[in-house]
Every structure is written in C-alpha cells, then in structure tokens.
Chains A and B, each alone.
Chain A
C-alpha cells in the first residue's frame, strides 16, 4: 500500500504538526505535547469544558471539531488506539473553567480505561469534576438488550455536537450530561464497508474483502459486521441499513430527524449523495421529516471504502442543539 508518509511511526505526530500549522487560529497544543490539542480561542468563564477523542486515523474526527460551539480539547492517540491518560489530564486542567469537564468518546475498552484513569487523576490532582458519556450508536454491534456493549461510530458526531452546543449555551455540567445522554439515546447508525484501510505501521489491510464483496454492518476500525456479501445497487444497501436503523429506533410519522451519510475515507461524494437520495426517499415514504442533513467525511477510517448512515431523532431541545452554530477548523455551521 502506497502512502504519503515519512517515518510510519511518526505519522500521527507529523499530521498534528501540519494541522497546528494549518489552523493556528483554531488550535494549539498544551505546552509542547503534540497529543494534547485545545482551542486557540478564548473560552467563556464558567463554561463546561468539552473533551472528545479517541485514536488517530478518523480525521476530521476528532481534532477537526475543536472550536466554538463544539469541543474545547482533543487528546490524540496512536492510530485507532485510545490516547493515554496524560494528554487527557493535561487538557482537562487546561480547559477547566470552574464548571467541570465532560468526556465524550465511543464505547471501546481502551478508551474506557484511559479516559477513566484520567478522570480519576483529574479528581485527585486538580479537584476537577469530570463526567463521562460514551457513544453507542452502532445498531448491529450488539442487540438491543445489551445496549451498553454497542460501539460508537459516525453518529457520535451528533452527540458531540449536541454536548458542545449545550456547553456553549452556558448550561451546567449536569445539564450538558443529560443532553449528551439524550442525544446518544436518540441516535442510531449502521455502516457498509467496501474496501479495507491499512495502518502506516503495518502496511497490511485491516481486513479482507474480495473485489466484488461488501461487509454489511462494518465498524470504524474494520470490526466485522453482520455478514459479507456480494455488492449490490446502492438503493438495496440503503434499504437494508435503514431497515435495521428504523427497527431499532422508536420513531413515528411526523417526527423529525437529522441525517448523516458519512464517508469512511475513500468514498467519492458522488456515491454518498446517491446513498443519501435513497435514505431521503425511505424517510419521506414513512412520513419522517428530514430537518437537517450532513453528507461527507465526518468520521473516517484512513482510506477505508464505504459509508455509514446515522439518524438522530430531534425533539425541541435537540433541535436547538443541532441548530446551534459551530466554528471549527474542519466544520462550520452558521
């Protein structure tokens, strides 16, 4: 696999060096630590601090969402690996404005342990109150009666955005946590993989898929989904994804949703809009209102091929959060 890298082991650090140089108005490091990124803008006193994060390789997730109305800080791990507690703790101390800090991340073992250790240390060393919300939007990663085992994929964008908006509105930590939990409970996602990615350090494909095959239900690190099957027309794939999502999601005619069709890294916009077309048709047929749409690369897996569909059901409160403006290096909403 060809890659535009120098030393594969240095890939994450060199990416961050480039990123910080590209967007000095948005982003800076805590001290010299390249893995601890915070907003370069002034943040309001008494605002709840928002930290989102996880491994590298998901760009623009997560550092692309540092900015006003979104995240205040992002610890960056190695590729597809949770960051260690140190940068999480450094960021927590840096962004705390006296109102506490919320940690938001996808529900993965590594993140749970590292963010958990950082939360304990923040309490011990700096007396900062930290609350945590883990995203569990992937409907096929575990059955409905084991929700706590579900992993977080692209729908985490909605959860992070809602929490970021709530914090920007000056809500208390408890209030931000409640909104983040509600956003997570209201969000469902499912993906399809067409081709693997390869990690710069290993150069090997992350999973195997024949030329004519797809994997329905694939995870964002190449975790296997429901099954491998022959590639089919986009419409038929969307039907299957939407069937699982809607069966899992309590929603009725006349209610509204935000929709995200997310590319996994190497999928052309053309294909994402072809997928969105079918998503919209199904929702229209069921009388569900599309309130806001996001189509593009929001949470990728290096150069993986494929996409995921996420829906967040919107009540009045979540509508306010999804409408709230955001100004980040990789995401602007007016």
Chain B
C-alpha cells in the first residue's frame, strides 16, 4: 500500500487525539515509577504538534518534512527524557524517507525501523531495562522479519504491533534499570513502564490510521 502526506498528517492528528484520551492513564502509570507527569508531557508535546498540523503543515506534501517538524516541535515543547527520544526517532525516520511524497511498503518499513534505531541510539537502553525499548525492539524485529518474508508492510506491521504490546506488558515483570525510576529497585515491579506504554500507543495508532484508510 502507498500512503501520502495527507495520510501521514492524519496519523499525527490521531496521535494527538489518542494522547488526550490516554494522558491520565499514562500519568497514573508514571506516578508509580516517576513523578507522575508522562501523560501531561506527551500531551504538551502533541498539543504543540497539533498547532503545526493545523497551520504550518496544512499543505506540506513532503513526508520527511512533516516528520522533521513534528520531531522538532515535540522536542522544543517538552525537553525531558521523552523529548529527545521520540524526536530522535522521528528525525531518523525522516532521514530514510527524504523528499518522498508517497511511502510504499518498503519505505514504511524502513521508516519504522529507523525510528526504533533512533530511540535506541539516543537512550542507550536495552531490552529488559523497563523502557520504551521493551516495546519498540521486539516490534522492529518482527516487522523486519515478516516484511522480508512477504513484502507486505501492513501485515508485517500488524504482527509488529502485537509484539510491541507483549513487550510493553512484559515491563510489568521488570525492574527499572534506566532513568529516574532505576533508583526504585523492587518497588518498580508490577507496573507497566509509561514510556513502553506510550511507545505502544504510537505504533498502534499508526495501524489504526492505516486500517481506517483501508476502510477496516
């Protein structure tokens, strides 16, 4: 399938709406592990993005430019840890779709693999550290594997989202090893990592936005 700049903007608009719905839940998870503001931070970031989507990006046709503006806007609005992490993800993604107005199966696959690489490089976390990487790395692995088999992005991405969800759920059983919550030790057990949860939501929203385009 091909998606164009309209579809990409539509995706980010759905992320904006989804974050508003989920922000209290994300903050609640964070209250058990951090200072309880992950949902608020995501909301501040994507509300700033919304402003760009509604104005500056309204007629933008270059998919990579859209991702660059989203990344820079999100980063400038939030700072924090999550700012550099997601911003680096979208910037790395932008790099592999440079100047493209439409994204085919292969570009979409490359985009999300680069996104995950970017987050991993910036945060230097590994699977098992109880971070967003626990969602993103298994998702990327499955995406790559399935796409190589079939060449069909949307099918592969469906599997990737499932793997991401399992990865996110696995953080419940993990001790925090990165960031402020790493000082919690045993007390971090039993709670899903809020970063792992928001990373899953970003992936899953992409899937739902593709499905709504296909009319599913």
Q: Is the Cβ of B84 less than 8 Å from the Cβ of A201?
A: no
A198-239 residues with Cβ-Cβ distance < 8 A to B are 199, 201-202, 204, 206, 219, 221-224
Closest to A141 in B: B183
Bound CA–CA A199/B183 (angstroms) = 21
Is A151 an interface position by the 8 A CB rule? yes
Main secondary structure of the interface of A (DSSP, over half): loop
Bound CA–CA A79/B44 (angstroms) = 12
Q: Is the Cβ of A9 less than 8 Å from the Cβ of B35?
A: no
Closest to A206 in B: B35
Bound CA–CA A151/B180 (angstroms) = 9
Contact with A along B72-104 (1 / 0, CB 8 A): 000111111111110000000000000000000
Contact with A along B55-84 (1 / 0, CB 8 A): 000000000000000000001111111111
B-side interface residues, number (CB < 8 Å) = 29
Contacts of A86 on B, CB cut-off 8 Å?
Answer: 75-76
Is A80 an interface position by the 8 A CB rule? yes
Bound CA–CA A151/B81 (angstroms) = 15
Stretch of A108-116, A123-131, A305-313 that contacts chain B: A108-116
* Contact flag A223-B80 (CB < 8 Å), given A81-B41, A201-B40, A206-B36: no
Q: Is the Cβ of A81 less than 8 Å from the Cβ of B78?
A: yes
Bound CA–CA A82/B76 (angstroms) = 11
Contact of A83 among B79, B85, B122 (CB under 8 A): B79
B157-216 residues with Cβ-Cβ distance < 8 A to A are 178-180, 182-184, 187
Contacts of A83 on B, CB cut-off 8 Å?
Answer: 79
Interchain residue pairs A-B with the least CB separation, the first 10: A81-B80, A84-B79, A113-B84, A110-B81, A201-B40, A109-B179, A77-B79, A82-B79, A83-B79, A110-B80
B190 to chain A, nearest CB (A): 15
Is A85 an interface position by the 8 A CB rule? yes
Q: Is the Cβ of A113 less than 8 Å from the Cβ of B37?
A: no
* Contact flag A78-B79 (CB < 8 Å), given A199-B37, A199-B40, A204-B36: yes
Closest to B47 in A: A9
Q: Is the Cβ of A85 less than 8 Å from the Cβ of B75?
A: yes
Contacts of B78 on A, CB cut-off 8 Å?
Answer: 78, 81, 84
Q: Is the Cβ of B76 less than 8 Å from the Cβ of A224?
A: no
